[in-house]
Structure 1
């Protein structure tokens, strides 16, 4: 049976890949993005290719409109079964150049909007006596700080805790809330362009030896949104080629011996 899936950030990058994956599964997709033309083009392509209904909602998620978007999508296109909070922004801002405006906008889009959308969906699902599923897009930056990304890392760390908090409070009313935490993914931002040092460093230290692709992340989102994950909530699924597990390029800590070493 086809579901109604609401995907934020659906105009490009991971959001578009996720919207496409749901379309390929036969689900109807409402896409949200601030970029109207790319959004319409992406959704039209999905609709044509997979013979599913798609519809765009243009909005800036830095405003408190996220909850209203859920209500609009529900009232206009029917009850929402799955919400994917994929929208995110990641400006590179050294701390010495940080302003309250830059900080607040990143936290508003990356943390506040997913929470408000989740709450709005839960309220509608409870009134309609329907189950619902939420999948948030976290990031490896939630557990690994890097220069220029204090606001981004903070927003994603907060989103991981918000995911757990929502799961705890909403599980009893039939709403599951999980997160997928991607590592570096091709095409998701300038920082993983193959010509950059950032890209080369990410590849060289990844245990699986490659950068992720958007379908890698989309497949994980589809799993958490499926009945196969019906007893999973409050989880953060790392989809990063093992980069959060450790660094595969560090040398052996003790040179060439298999004997037990004492001390230190």
Structure 2
């Protein structure tokens, strides 16, 4: 059965890969982003060989506007009820802690936390009134579990979005609406909005599987969570798709020699 899938942040990166994956399955897409030209170009790719052969709808919206998330959902719903909402839009500026101000902080929280929350609320209201049971998938991050220099707003926003995922799953479950999240590790994307340095990419690419992620890795997980036949009894779950990076750091040296001698004076015997 063809579904109507709404994807935010769909002009590039993970959002675009998610849209392409659903389009390849024959689903109808509505793409949301604030960059009109990039959004139109993304929609055009879905009608090509990798897409469904039918054009995608587009909604140009700046999700920092508190009215924009609900407006985007309503616009899409008026064309056809939405079956899947993927909240993939996100920003991650690097700002050192002592340089933070209210404007920088609020901008990240508005896009990364408030927008997916309000989009989910809007969809749930429309769906419960119509007696439908859509699925929501949020895109969080491994940054929700650990801080790093310059990422206080981003890490906080993703930790908050994981709790929004759980809280909304709890309250919407009785209506049959499932809400889950995919938490990517480091994924190589071509993005004009969110750029990272080569030094940072090299530092975070190490994981047990030995490679950085690809947008398609995340898209496959999103599609699985959105499929009631595959994951119909899964809600409130944060699926970490990160090459195993959240399991620990395998690049650290051994805490003790392979054949330890007597402990050195002044050092703990047990590794931290």
TM range (shorter): over 0.9
Structure 2 length-normalised TM: 0.91
Structure 1 length-normalised TM: 0.94
| In structure 2, distance between residues paired with 1:209 and 1:190 | 22
Residue pair 1:80, 1:132 contacting (<8 A) in 2 also:
yes
- Ranges in structure 2 where 5+ consecutive residues have no aligned partner: 264-268
Residue pair 2:7, 2:31 contacting (<8 A) in 1 also:
yes
Aligned to 1:23: 23
Aligned to 2:215: 214
- Ranges in structure 1 where 5+ consecutive residues have no aligned partner: none
Matched, 1:69 2:72: yes
Tell me by how many angstroms 1:258 deviates.
Answer: 9.3
Q: Equivalent residues in 2 for 1:143-162 (5 A)?
A: 143-162=145-164
| In structure 2, distance between residues paired with 1:85 and 1:216 | 16
What is the SS of the residue equivalent to 2:247?
coil
What is the SS of the residue equivalent to 1:125?
helix
Tell me by how many angstroms 1:58 deviates.
Answer: 0.1
Q: What per-residue deviation string (whole Å, max 9, x for no partner) do you get for residues 120-145 of structure 1?
A: 11111101111110000000111110
Aligned to 1:190: 195
Aligned to 1:39: 39
| In structure 2, distance between residues paired with 1:71 and 1:12 | 23
Residue pair 1:27, 1:52 contacting (<8 A) in 2 also:
no
Tell me by how many angstroms 1:96 deviates.
Answer: 1.4
Aligned to 2:266: none
| In structure 1, distance between residues paired with 2:104 and 2:218 | 27
| In structure 1, distance between residues paired with 2:58 and 2:71 | 14
Aligned to 1:123: 125
| In structure 2, distance between residues paired with 1:258 and 1:221 | 46
Aligned to 1:6: 6
When residues 100 and 26 of structure 1 are mapped into structure 2, their CA distance, relative to the original with a 3 A threshold, is same
Moved segments of 4+, more than 6 Å: none
What is the SS of the residue equivalent to 1:56?
strand
Tell me by how many angstroms 1:48 deviates.
Answer: 3.2
What is the SS of the residue equivalent to 2:188?
coil
